[in-house]
Amino acid sequence: MAATNAFFASTLSIRRSVVFDFGPRFSQFDTKKHSIIAYGVLHSGSTMSTKQIAFKATPDNTNSVSPASLMSDADSDSVPMPIVLIDQDSDPVATIVQLSFGDRLGALIDTMRALKDLDLDVSKGTVTTEGAVKQTKLFITSNSGRKVEDPDMLERIRLTIIDNLLKYHPESSERLAMGEAFGIKAPVKKPDVDVATHIHVQEDGPKRSLLCIETADRPGLLMEIIKIMADVNIDVESAEIDTEGLVAKDKFHVSYRGAALNGSLSQVLVNCLRYYLRRPQTDEDSY
């Protein structure tokens, strides 16, 4: 589909930052030279809590989780909000993936290995601690050295990270849509799709518009959105894919034949997206 192919054609706090560089490929990062002991459980994920779970990453086991991590959540504070943010705009050559899960994330070595298994390179990373939240940013490129442009691969990145979060932080399942099928505890309060879905288009210059979508998260959501836009001949130039617990908050820079969307086309796009996102079981050919 043409549009799919053109997918990418307030408070003061103490803040600490660490930058680490993996060179051209994460495979060049020698984990055998590192022994990591920290608080948090090793792995991907995404925001906010105070229970500390010890892990130890060694050459023999990069995800050695203590028995405390398998304890019932009744013994811990409230589970923090997992956040996975995929940013296509901030860096000219790399796709930035930002993860946070309160202060529980560790070195994310296995997450980076999982991304490498997708034939992706993690060239650089930063870790920022702000208050009780630790944020990790990974700078990712395809094997061609460019930012990831394929929407299917972006969704695979998102789901891979969430899958690792569920694996190494099983308590996160109650805060993630995928936790219902793959976690140890399904979400108790699931967002109503009709209530949670908000869509609007705003001006972003003469040549493109900004489409903002907030809806209940589910696997494959990004591909559904891209297909809907392709069906109405909307081109997607860049995107910011944000998963905050059970809710997806995505932004897309879009255009139609090289220009911003006019009012009529914007309304058509919003109506199509609202129709499908609020009714995920609707037959694709019913409109």
> Which domain does 265 fall in, by range?
193-278
Kindly report, residue by residue over 100-139, the tens digit of the pLDDT. Answer: 998 888 878 889 999 999 999 998 999 998 888 899 999 9
- Residues 163 and 218 grouped into a single domain: no
Q: Quickly state the pLDDT bin for 21 (edges 50, 70, 90).
A: low
SS3 state of residue 229:
helix
- Residues 84 and 158 grouped into a single domain: yes
- Residues 75 and 177 grouped into a single domain: yes
Crossing angle (nearest 10°) for helices 221-231 and 151-168: 160
Amino acid at 216: A
Asked if residue 284 belongs to a domain, the reply is: no
Q: Quickly state the pLDDT bin for 92 (edges 50, 70, 90).
A: very high
- Residues 156 and 219 grouped into a single domain: no
Kindly report, residue by residue over 170-223, the tens digit of the pLDDT. Answer: 999 988 988 777 777 878 777 777 777 999 999 999 999 999 999 999 888 999
Kindly report, residue by residue over 245-274, the tens digit of the pLDDT. Answer: 999 999 999 999 999 999 999 999 999 999
pLDDT of 31 reads 34
- Residues 168 and 73 grouped into a single domain: yes
Asked if residue 283 belongs to a domain, the reply is: no
Kindly report, residue by residue over 222-246, the tens digit of the pLDDT. Answer: 999 999 999 999 999 999 999 999 9
Domain's final residue, options 156, 182, 208: 182
- Residue pair 179/159 in contact (Cβ under 8 Å)? The answer is no
Asked if residue 218 belongs to a domain, the reply is: yes
- Residues 171 and 225 grouped into a single domain: no
Asked if residue 188 belongs to a domain, the reply is: no
- Residues 59 and 110 grouped into a single domain: yes
Residue, of 13 and 124, whose pLDDT is higher: 124
- Residues 115 and 232 grouped into a single domain: no
Domain's final residue, options 182, 208, 231: 182
Asked if residue 286 belongs to a domain, the reply is: no
- Residue pair 88/139 in contact (Cβ under 8 Å)? The answer is no
- Residue pair 47/102 in contact (Cβ under 8 Å)? The answer is yes
CA–CA–CA angle 127, 132, 135 (5° rounding): 25
- Residue pair 158/250 in contact (Cβ under 8 Å)? The answer is no
pLDDT of 62 reads 38
- CATH at 231: 3.30.70.260
- Residues 141 and 207 grouped into a single domain: no
Residues for the chain: how many in total? 287
- Residues 34 and 101 grouped into a single domain: yes
DSSP percent split of the chain into helix, strand, coil, nearest 5: 30, 30, 40
**Is residue 163 scored above 70 in pLDDT?**
yes
Q: What is the mean pLDDT of the chain?
A: 75
The whole-number average pLDDT for the span 86-109 is 91
- Residues 108 and 206 grouped into a single domain: no
Is pTM beyond 0.85 here? no
How many domains, in total, are found in the chain?
2
Asked if residue 158 belongs to a domain, the reply is: yes
pLDDT of 202 reads 95
Asked if residue 187 belongs to a domain, the reply is: no
How many Cα atoms occupy the beta-carbon half-sphere of 69 within 13 Å?
23
Residue, of 220 and 23, whose pLDDT is higher: 220
Domain's final residue, options 152, 182, 212: 182
- Residues 222 and 106 grouped into a single domain: no
Asked if residue 285 belongs to a domain, the reply is: no
Q: Which residues of 107-143 are buried (b: 16+ CB within 10 A; e: fewer)?
A: bbbbbbbbbbeeebbbbbbbbbeeeebbbbbbbbbbe
